[in-house]
Amino acid sequence: MKIHKQYSTGANKSPYDIRTFTYIPDKANIKGGKKWEEIDIENQRRVGICTGISVSMRARKHFGIDFSDDFQYLMQKRWEQNWNEGSSIFVALTIGKTIGFLPQSEWKHTTLEDRDLPYTEYIKKLQAIPEEEIKRLSYIASKYKIKAYASIPVTRDNLANAIDEQGALPVRFSVGNEWWTEPIEPLRPPQNVISGHAVNLTNYYGGSFRIANSWGVNWADNGTAYFLLSQYRPTEAWGVWFAGVPKEIEEQIENRATIIGKILDLLQQIIILVAKLT
């Protein structure tokens, strides 16, 4: 077996949030979705920015624009106030909704080659960007935002129908050495969990699902691989809407504005504070 460990993972579990919306699709077909092509596959290289990439790849499929993964990750780290490697899909989605996505053509501060640097050097390049420049870029990014996002229960029909509706879902896996071993297909459950990794779920056939990874087109089958849900399940999955928000989610958003919703917001803030203190 040949082992390649030139790519990072970096997807932490999404934080527990009692205010997170949940979306349960109605039904699903046996076969659906579309396998992403080589042009859809990005390459994070050696830094663990998979959460930012998985969400920006999803945005690109909607808007038809290449977005800056590095800007996305920078804003995630600023939101978390934590400059260690790794983040969560929840934080990446939060940035996509509150700040937006920056077109790659507007990003001049790092290159693809910078992702081969040690993480500490890579992140220093992001930290060195002046505040006024971040404000300018954020204004541009505000034109391309997520309308809503929600957790998708990890069952066969829920995932399949959500793919039918949206084309792809950002998901997280617990991964081990198996992801770096050739040949890759199909993906296997890890014997020893090393980290988490964020990818996009793109199509399905029965109980087999295919992912689009962010490790370049030389990984597995042109950057994609499949797995059997009965053997290897994502730890979380997310629906993302840039337009056409389902009524079910709109109702949850409206409920959030009620007195009970505001109480839940306050309760969640207390939970976060207690977690930090402990």
Q: Dihedral angle at the C-alpha atoms of 50, 215, 138, 242, nearest 10 degrees?
A: -80
Residue partners of 179: CB distance under 8 A and separation at least 6 = 187, 190, 197
Question: Are 189 and 88 within one domain?
Answer: yes
* Residue-wise DSSP of 53-117: HHHHHHHHHHH---B-HHHHHHHHHHHHT--SS-B-HHHHHHHHHHT---BGGG--S--GGGGGS
Q: How far apart are CA 200 and CA 210, in angstroms?
A: 8
What pLDDT was estimated at residue 26?
A: 79
Which of the pair, 257 or 191, is modelled with greater confidence?
A: 191
| Residue 22 sits in the same domain as residue 55 | yes
Name the 3-class secondary structure at 120.
Answer: helix
Instruction: Say if residue 152 is in the same domain as residue 52.
Output: yes
* CA nearest to 74, candidates 43, 53, 46: 53
Pair (13, 83) in one structural domain:
yes
Q: What is the pTM of this model?
A: 0.90
139 and 127 Cβ atoms separated by less than 8 Å: no
Q: What is the pLDDT of residue 278?
A: 65
Residue 86 sits in the same domain as residue 211: yes
Residues 72 and 174 in one domain: yes
138 and 260 co-located in one domain: no
Let me know whether 177 and 271 are in one domain. Answer: no
Separation between Cα atoms, residue 191 and residue 155, nearest integer Å: 23
Contacts of 40 (CB under 8 A, 6+ apart): 57, 60, 61, 212, 223
Q: What is the pLDDT of residues 43-100, one digit of tens each?
A: 999 999 999 999 999 999 999 999 999 999 999 999 999 999 999 999 999 999 999 9
Split into its structural domains, the chain has a count of 2
Query: Residue 259: its pLDDT value, please?
Result: 78
Say whether pLDDT at 205 is over 60: yes
CA distance 182 to 167: 28
Residue 257 Ramachandran class (φ > 0 left, ψ -120 to 50 alpha, else beta): alpha
Residues 69 and 180 in one domain: yes
Residues 6+ apart with CB under 8 A from 31: 204, 205, 206
Residue where the block lists tokens 């996009």:
200
Contact 168, 242 (CB under 8 A): no
Give pLDDT, residue 2. 52
Helix ranges (DSSP H) in 209-258: 247-256
The pLDDT of residue 263 is: 79
CATH of the domain at 52: 3.90.70.10
The predicted pLDDT at position 235 comes to: 97
Residues written for the chain: 278
| Residue 10 and residue 136 share a domain | yes
In the prediction, which pLDDT does 172 show? 98
Residue 236 is part of which domain span?
2-35+43-245
pLDDT in tens, 137-159: 999 999 999 999 999 999 999 99
Q: What does the pLDDT read at residue 254?
A: 84
For the chain, percent of residues with pLDDT exceeding 90: 78
Same domain? For 256 and 170 the reply is: no
Using alpha carbons, list the distances in angstroms from residue 55 to 11, 31, 110.
Answer: 12, 24, 19
- Same domain? For 112 and 221 the reply is yes
For residues 126 and 73, the answer to whether their CB atoms sit within 8 Å is yes
